[in-house]
Amino acid sequence: MPDQLPHAHLVIETIPGSGEFNMAMDAALLSLAIHRTESVVRLYRWNTPTVSLGYFQATSITNGRQNNPFVSLPVVRRLSGGGAILHHHEWTYSCILPPNHPARHNPSQLYQTVHLAIIDLLSRCNAPCKLRGDSSFINTLESSAPANEEHFLCFLRGNPNDIVHQRGPKVVGSAQRRRQGAILQHGSLLLRTSPHAPAVPGLLELSPSLDSALLDAELPRTIARAVASQWHLRTWTDQELELASQMRG
């Protein structure tokens, strides 16, 4: 990306939010971004294990084998596409970029820009990872899954832009929604395995020596640095909270 990028506002939510609030705020920020000239980078967590469904995803897979295994958990709908995500032990990030951001000319490149920055940080935190599409990397996880099977969970699906641990499993997945030149990209970074999805390992299982303190401290700045030349910390504005409340309905 160019050396000079639009300024960003960085919001780090220290108190985990509900699924309804988390998705409503992402939607509100995308709506507001259409008329803004600065980006917003948001880091947040979830106050209870919650399933988010991709925008076009049914609540079950209709191939006769894959059904929603999380019927007892809260379910929300994301603006972005893809498979279901069980949000539990993770960091979730959002980058909301205005129409004047150069990423609008190649939105798909934004995946790689953000993910390469995260990969560099993970390396410094003792968790060696790569992009799935790296030609020098062989993903051992996919070799055990039927090539034509569409998993209910996003983290059991594959995309070249995924961040995968050197042992094979996917640890970061992201998705986008675009509207009138503005871009919302949000993604999940799995910290450890959820008891609700034992087949999906987290970073602490894959790299027991993970420097969690460094990761927590540097992840917000790492993502902000990937999409903005300068940024500053702030909290939510009244306008953002009001619109999120309206969208939460």
Q: Which residues are catalytic?
A: 154
The residue type at 244 = A
**CA quadruple 15, 71, 194, 163: dihedral sign:** negative
Scanning the structure block, which residue is given the tokens 């999940």?
188
The residue type at 95 = C
* Residues ≥6 apart with Cβ < 8 Å to 32: 239, 240, 243
**CA quadruple 158, 50, 74, 239: dihedral sign:** negative
On whether the CB atoms of residues 39 and 9 are closer than 8 A, the answer is yes
Report the distance separating Cα 40 and Cα 1, nearest Å: 17
